[in-house]
Amino acid sequence: MSALTDLGVAAIRNGVRDGDFSAREVAEAFNTAVAGADALNAFIVKTPEHALAAADAADKARAAGETLKPLAGVPIGMKDLFATKGVQTTAASHILEGFKPEYESTVSHKLWGAGAGMLGKLNLDQFAMGSSNETSYFGNVISPWRRGEGDTTPLAPGGSSGGSSAAIAARLCPAATGTDTGGSIRQPAAFTGISGIKPTYGRCSRWGVVAFASSLDQPGPMAHDVRDCAIMLEAMAGFDPRDSTSLDMAVPKWEAGLSADLRGKRVGIPAEYRMDGTPAEIEALWQQGIAWLKDAGAEIVEVSLPHTKYALPAYYIIAPAEASSNLARYDGVRYGLRELAEGQNLQEMYAATRAAGFGDEVKRRILIGTYVLSAGFYDAYYTQAQKVRTLIARDFDNAWSQCDLLLTPTAPSAAFGLGEKVDPLAMYLNDVFTVPASLAGVPAMSVPGGLDSAGLPLGLQIIGKPFDEQGVLNAGLALEQRADFTARPKVWW
């Protein structure tokens, strides 16, 4: 039998249920893997005792002949953006260092209620602002992947859910939570050869998730494969009266609904996603993806999303504007860091606390957000961006009259080296293929498609209609079965 840490969510769930191994054995195996992988810096806090307690509960339930919960015996990683009661929650920032919430986020509460255990809190870009996990106060996450034989350049695991992606790819956890504001689940999934889905905006509650840009933030699962994503998403999703934008809809049985038969489905190929400078290997993978979907029975149609090029600049007004408002709460009064020199007044305390507590990228975005919302600029920047957002959402609506799904690359490059992208703008451009679906609120997922010539994973993105996570997962499954992606990073850590 292969190592327990090689197993995914479904295999662990089934194995525990069938008595092939105990949940405790699984938790111990992952705890050991986590403890031995400090070189990746994927975890900010480790919680082996939490994973063991959940495992023991699963084993006890099985011994008592009870029906097991959907995630009984499955230990997972929790992005450190989700408030976890009594366990430090930092959003990878200094300003929240030491913060131990007195409450549990809805999504994590649901996962523990489904029987999952927590291996630890996963590193991320600070306040989820970044695409490479280089903005964390707790240091970079290093991708387990490397460029070919003998190359030791540390590579980005993607961001902002970089701890999640690195930990799954390195087999430190079978699945993890992520959050996606402009691509923070999909891009790291693509960079590390795993799967991840951002559901329709409102599917998963934002309650207890440290806010970045509230009209865009959406939790979702990351895992080895499509089935595991479906299982996780079922446990995470659902109406929450404590989130005013939560969707009051039943949670579909996504796992039971999985089918790779795409006959009768039309898949759109958006012309505007063909961009200058995209590597030929990514273009080739996209063509391969088209062939795979045809093979699964789908009809391919050319579609146009004419406002695609304006998605990124609109995003970089809307997201910082919302962030500048959301992050106003960090004032050194109610929780987190306080910087107060002798003789300073309240205003000086606010400014000193925020100067010391926020990293450079967070400050940059707060300043941009404050600027575009300030008197005299509000209409020119913010209102115009919200109008463009309407047009981008309308592009998708129009496309749905011609097709059921869209297929695109997930990212315009494979993983880059840490420190290789120093210009903030160049970093922002990495989200070019993921941001439009975020602005439109529609579900989208990344699945691994293959490796580039350096041996690094590349991802394909499926975008679907609002509430059609099933269609997205099914197309993802069709791609997954044909891509047969079995590559994994060689252990060096």
Q: Which CB, 280 or 425, lies closer to other proteins? A: 425
- Give yes or no for residue 334 binding other proteins (CB under 8 A): yes
Beta bridge partners of 269: 302
For other proteins, the closer of residues 137 and 428 by Cβ is 428
3 touches other proteins (CB under 8 A): no
On whether the CB atoms of residues 300 and 286 are closer than 8 A, the answer is no
CB of 75 to other proteins, least distance (A): 27
Give the single-character DSSP code of 336.
Answer: S
Q: Which of 184, 205, 246, 438 is catalytic?
A: 184
- Residue from 14, 153, 259, 383 touching other proteins (CB under 8 A): that is 383
Tell me: does residue 493 bind other proteins (CB under 8 A). Answer: no
b/e burial code for range 117-147 (CB count within 10 A of at least 16 → b): bbbbbbbbbbbbbbbbbbbbbbebbbbbbbb
Q: Residues 93, 132, 136, 160: which is the catalytic one? A: 160
CB of 355 to other proteins, least distance (A): 4
Question: Please, what is the minimum distance in Å from the beta carbon of residue 106 to other proteins?
Answer: 15
**Under a CB-based contact definition with an 8 Å cutoff, are residues 60 and 103 in contact?**
no
Q: What are phi and psi of 455, to 5 degrees?
A: 85, 20
C-alpha dihedral (411, 416, 421, 427), degrees to nearest 10: 20
Binders of other proteins among 384-413, rule CB under 8 A?
Answer: 384-391, 393
Q: Map the footprint of other proteins across residues 34-93, applying CB under 8 A.
A: none
Size of the site for other proteins (CB under 8 A): 75
Interface pick for other proteins out of 14, 36, 38, 100 (rule CB under 8 A): 100
Q: Quote the CA–CA distance of 111 and 254 in Å, as a whole number.
A: 16
Cα separation, 477 vs 260, whole angstroms: 6
Residues 6+ apart with CB under 8 A from 132: 125, 140, 156, 157, 158, 159, 162, 416, 418, 421, 427, 430
Q: Is 102 in the site for other proteins (CB under 8 A)?
A: yes
Do the Cβ atoms of 268 and 405 come closer than 8 Å? yes
Nearer to other proteins, 101 or 409 (CB): 101
Q: Does 288 bind other proteins (CB under 8 A)?
A: no
* Rounded Cα distance, 383 and 386, in Å: 5
Residue range at the interface with other proteins (CB under 8 A); choices 109-117, 136-144, 410-418, 419-427: 419-427
Least distance (Å) between residue 192 CB and other proteins: 28
Query: Across-strand partners of 464?
Result: 405
Is residue 22 annotated as part of the catalytic site, yes or no?
no
Binders in 459-488 for other proteins, by CB under 8 A: 466
In the window 421-450, what residues touch other proteins (CB under 8 A)? 423-425, 428, 439-441
Nearer Cβ to other proteins (2/345): 345
Give the residue, chosen from 14, 259, 287, 374, that forms a contact with other proteins under the rule CB under 8 A. 374
Helices and strands per DSSP (H, E), number in the chain: 16, 11
338 binds other proteins (CB under 8 A): yes
Residue 256 or 426: the one with the smaller Cβ distance to other proteins is 426
Residue from 348, 402, 419, 490 touching other proteins (CB under 8 A): that is 348
- Give the residue with the Cβ less far from other proteins, 49 or 348: 348
Distance CA 65, CA 25 (A): 19
Instruction: Report DSSP state, residue 416.
Output: P
Of 3, 149, 150, 248, the residue at the interface with other proteins (CB under 8 A) is 248
Interaction of residue 146 with other proteins, rule CB under 8 A: no
Catalytic, 246? Answer no
Q: What is the dihedral of CA 420, 425, 430, 432, to 10 degrees?
A: -170
Q: Which is nearer to other proteins, 291 or 355 (CB)?
A: 355
Measured from the CB atom, the residue of 110 and 389 that comes closer to other proteins is: 389
Q: Is 310 in the site for other proteins (CB under 8 A)?
A: yes
Which segment (54-62, 149-157, 160-168, 241-249) binds other proteins by CB under 8 A? Answer: 241-249
- The residues in 216-235 that bind other proteins, with binding defined as CB under 8 A, are 216
Which region among 43-51, 173-181, 219-227, 344-352 touches other proteins (by CB under 8 A)? 344-352
Q: Are 59 and 24 within 8 A, CB to CB?
A: yes
> Is residue 335 close enough to count as binding other proteins by CB under 8 A?
yes
Q: Establish whether the linkage from the previous residue to 446 is cis, with ω within 30° of 0.
A: no
Residue 201's Cβ-count burial label (10 Å; 0-12, 13-18, 19+) is buried
Catalytic residue at 132? no
Least distance in Å: CB of 441 to other proteins?
A: 3
Which of 451, 434, 431, 452 has its CA nearest to residue 443? Answer: 434
The alpha carbon torsion through 438, 439, 440, 441 (nearest 10 deg) reads 50
Q: Which residue is listed with tokens 């986590």?
A: 34
Which residue among the candidates 22, 69, 79, 161 is catalytic per the annotation?
79
Of 414, 418, 394, 400, the C-alpha closest to 456 is 414
Catalytic amino acids? 79, 160, 184
